[in-house]
Amino acid sequence: MPIYKSILDLANGARTRIREVSAEHAGFPGLNGVVFIDVREEVEFRGGHIPGAIPLPRNEIEERIAQVIPDKTTAILVYCAIGHRSAIAADALQALGYTNVVSLDGGLKAYESLEATRNVA
């Protein structure tokens, strides 16, 4: 009987090989040339996303990234809802030779929480 890893297991494994950045240090799309990629599904993206982010679902990363970002030295921040899919995506991008990739720790939820705090202050 095959043993399947959960998304949490896969994400935790990926986290041993990638860099993560907190929402406080993420900045904004375009700041210092950083490209934000939202790896959630299209319906999730339509429901709300970081303005300026490029939608590229996790299951399409390997197939489409070269068309979206051909320069493998481009600074890329990947995010999802809470950070698991983005960790896996960052690991996949590194395996494809992308050298400047980070995953947003806590995902969109953390980013939006920080933005809400900034807007209240």
Query: What residue ranges do the domains of the chain occupy?
Result: 7-120
CATH of domain 7-120: 3.40.250.10
Q: What is the pTM of this model?
A: 0.91
pLDDT tens, residue by residue, 5-46:
799 999 999 999 999 999 999 998 988 999 999 999 999 999
- Is there a contact between 104 and 78 (Cβ–Cβ < 8 Å)? yes
Residue 23 to residue 27: CA distance in whole angstroms = 8
Residue 110, number of CB atoms within 10 A of its CB? 19
- Is there a contact between 104 and 21 (Cβ–Cβ < 8 Å)? yes
Q: What is the DSSP letter of 98?
A: -
Query: Which residues sit opposite 21 in a β-bridge?
Result: 104
3-state secondary structure of 19: strand
pLDDT, position 5: 79
Residue with tokens 């095959």: 2
Q: Which residues contact 3 (CB under 8 A, 6 or more apart)?
A: none
User: What's the full length of the chain, in residues?
Assistant: 121
Q: Which residues contact 25 (CB under 8 A, 6 or more apart)?
A: none
Percentage above 70 pLDDT, the chain:
94
3-state secondary structure of 79: strand
